[in-house]
Every structure is written in structure tokens, then in C-alpha cells.
């Protein structure tokens, strides 16, 4: 039994026939940059999400950067986000010369706490960037209320949550802009880098599309300073095949999370599955004070696990210049010592779930 955190090989073999056909068709077409598959993917995904504009780009980090650029974020501005996320979320604001500010998270959801967001807003806050961490939508009702009160736009970082719903509506439809990543290990992953930004706003849609191709709407005429951030046609063709499986894969993730919860709830802190939102379990993350020893034990037994994330962003070396200190965001700091993500992908087998849960039970009996 070779258990993987994410098993892309089993997935490829399930879809091999269709994926091979789609990739070969791109090779035959000779249209490798912004070919028809990219346009078709944009139109299929904007329909799936339920928004008017979808802008394909090279990766999820670029999607976030393009979103902030379209909103005009720059020096003198602040971008408010969670310290408990992948670095991209903060990195893009810093790259644009803005000051990154953080608000602590909710212990139960791992997501940014709207009460903390209210406290951290200043006259310079130009965008609020909540992350739907691990696939669980953030408290969007509260965040939208804040956005309405303050007129500060929200950019959703949905890199880990494509297809997740909050009160029956897909993520990426709540903020001014919603961004996703199709990095291979994400719940909707390509076989290379890819990303997309979604919006209902006509002006932002047009501007983001231009920014992704050197700021031009007409070739060799540049209206904005832009990026070279195109989604590869081969990746678009692969994603179009995988789109047919997205909902069933998300359902399987939820089912396996339910099985883990049943087997583990009495020995570790298992994730909540709130009734008002649809968690798609990009990661299945437990909490325990014995996290580091458990990780070692699992490793010894051949069970992979991972820590997302061991150091909150405000304590990362690259962000020391912001002036934050240990103790500034106690919830994020505490959770970073307790979280452990277990193998989660749609091709897990019952016996693998049994083995992983059994290994954790055995550990808890010994300690
Ligand atoms: C993966 C990820 C990103 C970045 O996506 P890339 O496609 O790897 O650039 C941004 N935010 C979060 C929360 C992520 O998990």
C-alpha cells in the first residue's frame, strides 16, 4: 500500500484516454498560446461559477496579482489578509509596493475573522483578501457587510476551494474579484501551472484581460503596464476534460472527510463541516497538541502528512520588515503548531482510510 497525499497517477489513469486525446489534439492544432481551448475553458468556468467574466492566466499567484493591479493597488495602499495562508496571498500586495496587513483567524474555521478585519481596516486599506482555506468558504456574509460599509473591495483567494459553496452560491461570486489556482495538487488541478480570475464587473474584466497580456487590448498598443501571464493551451485542454469530474471529485473528498471524522473525532480535533457552506476538503486538517510526534509516527508507518502552514506569514523572515511580532495573531500562531493535514484525494481507498485512521488511533493509545 503506497499512500500519497495527492494521487495524481491514479487520477491520470482514470482519465487517460480523454486526456491523451485532448493533449494530442492541441499538438495537432499548432495553437499553443491562447488557443481555442483557453477561450472555451473560460466560458465553461464562468458558467460553472456563475459570473460574467473569466480571465485565464498563468497561475493562481498571477490571478491575485492581476486582480490587485486591476483595482489599482500600489504604494501607499494597504492590502488586508489572513496570516494563515500560502505566501502568494500576501506576496502579490508586497510586490505591488503596498503594505500588507493581517487580521487574525477564527479558531473553528481557520479563516479570517471578520471581527478582526473591522479592527484592522485603516483609511489606506485598498483591498481585503479572504482565503477559503483548505476548501472551506470564509464568513462571506460578514465580510460583504464590511465591504459595503467601507466600500473596500474584496478579492477572494479561492485557490483551494474551486466549486465550494456558501449559502448555495459558488465562491468567487462574493467579492469584486475571485481568484483560483489550477496547480496540479489543487482540488481542480491541471498538469502544470494555470490560474483564473473571475468578476461580474465589466470594467474590471476588460482590464484584467488586458493586464494578463502585457496590458494590451490591441496587439502592440499598451494601455496598462501588464504581465506576461497566459494560460497554456495544453493545460486548458486538460482542465476541460477534468471539469466533468470536478463535482464528483469534490463529493468524494467530502465523503472521505466524513469517514475520517467518524474514525477520529474522539481522539483528535477533526474539522467542522458547517451546515451553511459546502467544504470541498482540498485539505483534510486535524488539530492536536502532539502534532510533531504524530507526524513522525505517521512517517514511520508510511503515512504521508503535511503542515499547512508551519509559520504564519507575519512571522516569516521576508515579512519581518512589516514590524509584526510573535503574539500579534495568537489564533494563527497557535493553530500553526497544531494543524496536520492527512492524505486527501478522490482516489483514496477504504483500506487506506482504515490504515491511516488506525495508525493515528494506535499512536493515541500509546501516548
Ligand atoms: C496555491 C495557492 C495560491 C497560488 O497558486 P499558484 O497557482 O501556485 O500560483 C494562492 N493562494 C493560496 C491560498 C494557495 O493555496
Residue 1 in this model has a pLDDT that exceeds 80: no
Ligand 1 centroid vs 298 CA: distance in angstroms? 26
Ligand 1 and 85: CB distance under 6 A: yes
Give percent of the chain above pLDDT 90. 96
Pocket probe for ligand 1: among 5, 63, 160, 227, the residue whose CB has the most ligand atoms within 8 Å is 160
Would you say residue 100 has pLDDT above 70? yes
Atom 10 of ligand 1, nearest CA residue: 88
From the CA of 225, how far away is ligand 1's center (Å)? Answer: 23
Q: Is the CB of 187 under 6 A from ligand 1?
A: no
Average of pLDDT values for 116-145?
98
State the distance from the centre of ligand 1 to the C-alpha of 203, rounded, in angstroms: 25
Q: Quote the mean pLDDT of the chain.
A: 97
What fold is seen in the domain 246-366? 3.90.1150
**pLDDT higher at 144 or 32:** 144
CATH of domain 8-103+110-243: 3.40.640.10
pTM of the shown model: 0.97
Reduce the secondary structure of 312-363 to three states and give it as a string: CHHHCHHHHHHCCCCCCCHHHHHHHHHEEEECCCCCCCHHHHHHHHHHHHHH
Residue 55: in which H helix or E strand, if any? strand 53-57
- 241-253 pLDDT tens trace: 999 999 999 999 9
Measure the CA–CA gap between 258 and 201, rounded to whole angstroms: 37
CA–CA separation, 39 vs 181, rounded Å? 17
Domain with CATH 3.90.1150.10 in the chain: 246-366
Q: What is the pLDDT of residues 305-362, one digit of tens each?
A: 999 999 999 999 999 999 999 999 999 999 999 999 999 999 999 999 999 999 999 9
Dihedral sign computed on CA atoms, order 360, 362, 364, 367: negative
Alpha-carbon separation of residue 282 from 39, 184, 253 (angstroms): 26, 12, 8
The cell numbers describing 254, all together, are 467530502
Quick: pLDDT tens for 57-83: 999 999 999 999 999 999 999 999 999
Residue ranges of the chain that CATH labels 3.40.640.10: 8-103+110-243
Q: Which parts of 123-207 are beta strand (E)?
A: 125-129, 155-157, 165-166, 169-170, 177-181, 195-199
What's residue 367's pLDDT? 62
Amino acid at each position: 500500500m503506497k499512500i500519497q497525499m495527492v494521487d495524481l497517477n491514479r487520477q491520470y489513469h482514470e482519465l487517460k484516454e480523454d486526456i491523451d486525446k485532448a493533449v494530442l489534439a492541441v499538438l495537432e492544432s499548432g495553437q499553443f498560446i491562447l488557443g481555442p481551448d483557453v477561450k472555451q475553458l473560460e466560458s465553461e468556468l464562468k458558467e460553472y461559477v456563475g459570473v460574467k467574466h473569466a480571465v485565464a492566466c498563468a497561475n493562481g499567484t498571477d490571478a491575485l496579482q492581476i486582480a490587485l493591479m486591476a483595482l489599482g493597488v500600489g504604494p501607499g495602499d494597504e492590502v488586508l489578509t489572513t496570516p494563515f495562508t500560502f505566501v502568494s496571498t500576501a506576496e502579490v500586495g508586497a510586490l505591488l509596493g503596498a503594505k500588507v496587513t493581517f487580521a487574525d483567524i477564527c479558531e473553528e474555521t481557520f479563516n479570517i475573522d471578520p471581527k478582526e478585519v473591522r479592527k484592522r481596516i485603516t483609511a489606506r486599506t485598498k483591498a481585503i483578501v479572504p482565503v477559503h482555506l483548505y476548501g472551506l468558504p470564509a464568513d462571506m456574509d460578514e465580510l460583504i457587510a464590511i465591504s459595503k460599509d467601507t466600500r473596500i473591495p474584496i478579492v477572494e483567494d479561492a485557490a483551494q476551494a474551486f466549486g465550494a459553496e456558501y449559502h448555495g452560491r459558488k465562491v468567487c461570486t462574493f467579492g469584486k474579484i475571485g481568484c483560483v489556482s489550477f496547480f496540479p495538487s489543487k482540488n481542480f488541478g491541471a498538469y502544470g501551472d494555470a490560474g483564473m480570475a473571475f468578476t461580474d464587473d465589466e470594467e474590471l474584466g476588460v482590464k484584467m484581460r488586458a493586464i494578463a497580456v502585457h496590458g494590451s487590448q490591441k496587439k502592440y498598443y499598451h494601455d496598462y503596464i501588464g504581465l506576461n501571464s497566459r494560460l497554456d493551451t495544453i493545460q486548458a485542454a486538460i482542465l476541460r476534460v477534468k471539469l466533468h469530474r470536478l463535482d464528483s471529485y469534490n463529493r468524494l473528498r467530502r465523503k472521505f472527510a466524513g469517514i475520517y471524522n467518524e474514525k477520529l473525532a474522539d481522539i483528535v480535533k477533526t474539522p467542522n463541516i458547517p451546515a451553511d457552506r459546502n467544504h470541498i476538503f482540498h485539505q483534510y486538517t486535524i488539530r492536536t497538541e502532539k502534532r510533531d510526534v504524530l507526524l513522525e509516527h505517521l512517517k514511520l508507518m508510511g503515512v504521508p502528512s503535511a503542515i499547512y502552514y508551519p509559520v504564519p506569514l507575519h512571522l516569516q523572515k521576508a515579512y519581518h520588515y512589516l514590524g509584526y511580532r510573535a503574539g500579534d495573531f495568537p489564533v494563527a500562531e497557535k493553530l500553526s503548531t497544531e494543524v496536520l493535514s492527512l492524505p486527501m484525494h478522490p482516489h483514496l481507498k477504504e483500506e487506506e482510510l482504515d490504515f491511516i485512521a488506525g495508525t493515528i488511533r494506535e499512536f493515541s493509545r500509546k501516548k
